[in-house]
Amino acid sequence: MDLAKYGPWALIIGGSEGVGAEFARQLAADGFKLVLVARKPEPLEDLATELRSSGAEVRVVSADLSKPGVLDQVRTVTDDVEIGLLVYNAGANNTRGNFLELPREVPDSVIAINVLGQTDFARHYGAPMMARERGGIILTGSLGGYLGSPTLAAYTAAKAFSRIFTEALWAECQPFGVDVLHLNIGFTATPAMARLGMPIDMAEPPATVAREGLENIANGPLWIVSTPGNAERARMLSVADNRGDLVRAHAIRPREETGKAAQEMKDMVGNG
C-alpha cells in the first residue's frame, strides 16, 4: 500500500478483530500509523500492543458507533494528525427479526453504523483528503445488499445504501486524486460470525478480504471479494426479475443453512 499516497495515518473503524484487524496488520507492515476504533477495550489494546511491538505507532479509541457523538470521540485522537486512509469496516448485524416486531433500537443501530456512520466519517475525513488531492476511503458492504432479506430488512437496505453512496462518492472524489472503494464482502470467517454460530470453516479468511480491499483501492467504485460465486451472485441478484421468489427464498433460515440457501437461490435464478 502506497504510504506516500494514502498515509501517513490510517483510521480503521471496527479495527480490533476480523477483517478490521487484518487491515491494521497489513497497513502497519507497510509503515502506516494507525488509529483503531471499536467498542471493547481489551481486543483493541491487545492488537495495539501486537502492532507496537513490531514498531507501529498506534492510537486506540473505545467508542460505540451506534451512539451519538462518536465522531467527536474519534476526533479527540485524530485532529492533530493527517488521516490519509479511512477504512470503515464495522457493520455486521447480530440481531435478526421481523422489522415490525424488533425493538426500534435494533434497526436504528444498524442504520446509525452503516448509513449515518459511513456518511459522517466519509465527509469528515474525506474533505481534507480532497483538499490535499490524495488519500483513500474504503467502505465495507455485503452481498446481502443486493436483495431485501426478511429478518434483515434494515441491514440489507443499509448495505445497498452504502454501495450506491460509494459509487457516487467515488465519481466526485476521483478528479481530486482521492480513491473511494466499496468493498463488497461475502461470507468471511470473523469472530463476529463465529459468535453467531455460523460455520466459519467454510468462509473466506479475513486476511484475504483485507488484502483484496487494499490492493484494489484504486479499482473502484466497487470490488467484490473474489470468493468463487460472489461476483456471479451479485450479478444475478442485480438483474433477476423474479424478485419475489428470491426474497421468499431468503426468508428465515437457520444460520447453518446459509450455503444451502445461496445455492437454492442460484438454482432459482438459473431456472427463472
Q: Which of 88, 138, 137, 153 is nearest to 114 (CA)?
A: 88
Q: Binding string to ligand NAP for residues 192 to 221, with x set by CB under 6 A, is what? A: xx----------------------------
Q: Is 217 exposed, middle or buried (0-12, 13-18, 19+ CB in 10 A)?
A: buried
Is 88 a residue of the active site?
A: no
Using CB under 6 A as the binding rule, whether residue 132 contacts ligand NAP is answered as no
Q: Using an 8 Å Cβ cutoff, are 140 and 210 in contact?
A: no
Q: What is the spatial distance between Cα 148 and Cα 247, in angstroms, rounded to a whole number?
A: 6
Q: Which is nearer to ligand NAP, 47 or 246 (CB)?
A: 47
Catalytic: which of 6, 88, 146, 155? 155
Q: What is the spatial distance between Cα 177 and Cα 13, in angstroms, rounded to a whole number?
A: 22
At 110, is the secondary structure helix, strand, or coil? helix
Residue range at the interface with ligand NAP (CB under 6 A); choices 1-9, 60-68, 167-175, 230-238: 60-68
Using CB under 6 A as the binding rule, whether residue 153 contacts ligand NAP is answered as no
Residue range at the interface with ligand NAP (CB under 6 A); choices 22-30, 32-40, 96-104, 236-244: 32-40
Using CB under 6 A as the binding rule, whether residue 18 contacts ligand NAP is answered as yes
Using CB under 6 A as the binding rule, whether residue 27 contacts ligand NAP is answered as no
Which residues, in sequence order, are bridge partners of residue 90?
none
Shortest gap between Cβ of 133 and ligand NAP (angstroms)?
Answer: 28
Q: In which residue are the cell numbers 424488533 written?
A: 102
Using CB under 6 A as the binding rule, whether residue 90 contacts ligand NAP is answered as yes
Q: Which three cell numbers stand for residue 102?
A: 424488533
Shortest gap between Cβ of 266 and ligand NAP (angstroms)?
Answer: 17
Q: Using an 8 Å Cβ cutoff, are 138 and 239 in contact?
A: no
Residue range at the interface with ligand NAP (CB under 6 A); choices 64-72, 76-84, 211-219, 234-242: 64-72
Continuous H helices in the chain = 3-6, 18-29, 41-53, 70-75, 105-111, 118-132, 153-173, 191-195, 206-215, 230-239, 243-249, 258-271
Shortest gap between Cβ of 66 and ligand NAP (angstroms)?
Answer: 5
Q: Binding string to ligand NAP for residues 95 to 114, with x set by CB under 6 A, is what? A: ------------------x-
Computed on alpha carbons and rounded to an integer, the radius of gyration of the chain in Å comes to: 18
What's 199's DSSP letter? -
Using CB under 6 A as the binding rule, whether residue 140 contacts ligand NAP is answered as yes
Using CB under 6 A as the binding rule, whether residue 91 contacts ligand NAP is answered as yes
Residue range at the interface with ligand NAP (CB under 6 A); choices 59-67, 122-130, 166-174, 231-239: 59-67
At 246, is the secondary structure helix, strand, or coil? helix
Q: Using an 8 Å Cβ cutoff, are 206 and 47 in contact?
A: no
Which are the catalytic amino acids? 155
- Residues of this chain that interact with ligand NAP (CB under 6 A) are 14-20, 38-40, 43, 64-66, 89-92, 113, 140, 142, 185-188, 190, 192-193
